[in-house]
């Protein structure tokens, strides 16, 4: 891929297989083979991918991960200014989607460089497609906070979300995550845990959130996506009151809970406060 018409380098976001290497497109193979600079999330894993694909490249391969993303972006911008294309490849899936890449995309665009993409596998869309849950409208929430309090607070905010939700989670946190989901979203809320997608041990387990939390105690392994059905249509005042009650149950003062939920949902503060008093 040549630089743009003005001789400036492009950023190329290259989607890599999320499991099986046979999912790599001919376009991906050609871009990797012809690249001048490749920013790889993990250089060792990237070279393993090249071997699996039977590719050799003369590109300068540099690491580009969360720990050095900020500092290395300036170096990659210098390559772009000198007319070299920079290919970004993460360990699996689409760069910048819960993976490195966004910083470089923003910096390149602000500097007037073109950003393009080699489309390919996506764990988000694959999990959504096989979940069996509604796919007409969805949102991607990525990794929620690791600690219980902030995670539960974020799930409370999502309790009335009508769209199907897609999350990433680490296997050692999956059971706690699903337990918090069941408490905030409803024990019977339909969901699917998708693990090791496109790999030999691919598994999709479907059920209510509480049921899946119990399953996860002994079966959480590998790369995991969780897909959760959106909330059914309910009275917005009822949803706001439920959020207030959850916060009070966790020890928050009534006035503070009402103020925060009213701000979050747009509910009338005085009416919500009175409803919470009446419900006591």
C-alpha angle with apex 96: 95 to 99, nearest 5 degrees? 80
Is 90 exceeded by the pLDDT of residue 20? no
- Round to whole Å and give the CA distance between 167 and 229: 11
* Spatial contact of 40 and 89, defined as CB atoms under 8 Å apart: yes
User: Per-residue pLDDT averaged across 142-151, rounded?
Assistant: 92
The whole-number average pLDDT for the span 201-220 is: 94
Confidence (pLDDT) at 234: 62
Mean pLDDT over 172-194 rounds to 96
Which pLDDT does position 81 carry in this prediction? Answer: 95
| Cα–Cα nearest to 96, from 59, 142, 60 | 142
Please report the DSSP string for 173-189 in residue order.
Answer: GHHHHHHHHHHHH-TT-
Pairing of the two strands 190-195 and 203-208: antiparallel
- How far apart CA 104 and CA 75 sit, in angstroms, is 10
Calpha distance 154→209 (Å, rounded): 16
| pTM for the structure as a whole | 0.78
**Mean per-residue pLDDT, 91-103:** 91
State both tokens at 97.
Answer: 């989607």
Show Cβ contacts of residue 166 under 8 Å, excluding neighbours closer than 6 positions: 124, 127, 128, 138, 139, 140, 141, 225, 226, 227, 228
What pLDDT was estimated at residue 2?
61
Residue 14 has pLDDT above 70, yes or no: yes
Q: What is the pLDDT of residues 219-228, one digit of tens each?
A: 889 999 999 9
Q: Residue 10 has which token pair?
A: 């492009």
| Vertex 77 angle, CA 76 and 78, to 5° | 90
pLDDT at 94: 93
Q: CA-to-CA distance for 209 and 167, rounded, in angstroms?
A: 13
Strands (E) across the chain are located at 11-14, 37-40, 60-63, 86-89, 115-118, 138-143, 164-169, 190-195, 203-208, 224-228
pLDDT at 250: 86
Give 235-271 pLDDT, tens digit per residue.
Answer: 577 778 888 888 888 888 999 989 988 887 778 888 8
Task: Tell me how crowded residue 212 is: count the other CB atoms within 10 A of its CB.
Answer: 26
């Amino acid at each position: 891929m040549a630089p743009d018409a003005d001789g400036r380098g492009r950023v190329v976001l290259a989607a890599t297989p999320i499991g099986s290497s046979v999912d790599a497109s001919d376009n991906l193979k050609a871009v990797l083979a012809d690249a001048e600079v490749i920013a790889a999330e993990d250089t060792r894993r990237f070279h393993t991918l090249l071997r699996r694909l039977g590719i050799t490249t003369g590109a300068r391969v540099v690491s580009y991960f969360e720990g050095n993303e900020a500092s290395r972006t300036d170096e990659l911008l210098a390559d772009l200014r000198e007319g070299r294309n920079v290919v970004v490849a993460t360990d699996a899936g689409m760069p910048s989607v819960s993976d490195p890449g966004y910083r470089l995309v923003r910096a390149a665009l602000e500097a007037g460089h073109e950003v393009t993409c080699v489309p390919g596998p996506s764990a988000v869309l694959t999990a959504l497609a096989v979940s069996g849950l509604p796919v007409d409208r969805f949102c991607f929430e990525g990794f929620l906070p690791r600690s219980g309090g902030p995670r539960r607070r974020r799930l409370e905010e999502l309790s009335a979300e009508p769209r199907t939700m897609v999350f990433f989670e680490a296997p050692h946190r999956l059971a706690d995550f699903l337990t918090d989901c069941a408490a905030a979203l409803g024990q019977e809320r339909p969901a699917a845990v998708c693990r090791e997608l496109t790999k030999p041990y691919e598994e999709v387990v479907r059920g209510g959130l509480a049921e899946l939390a119990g399953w996860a105690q002994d079966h959480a392994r590998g790369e995991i996506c969780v897909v959760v059905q959106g909330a059914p249509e309910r009275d917005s005042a009822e949803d706001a009151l439920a959020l207030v009650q959850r916060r009070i149950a966790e020890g928050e003062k009534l006035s503070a809970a009402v103020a925060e939920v009213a701000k979050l949902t747009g509910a009338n503060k005085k009416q919500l406060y009175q409803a919470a008093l009446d419900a006591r």
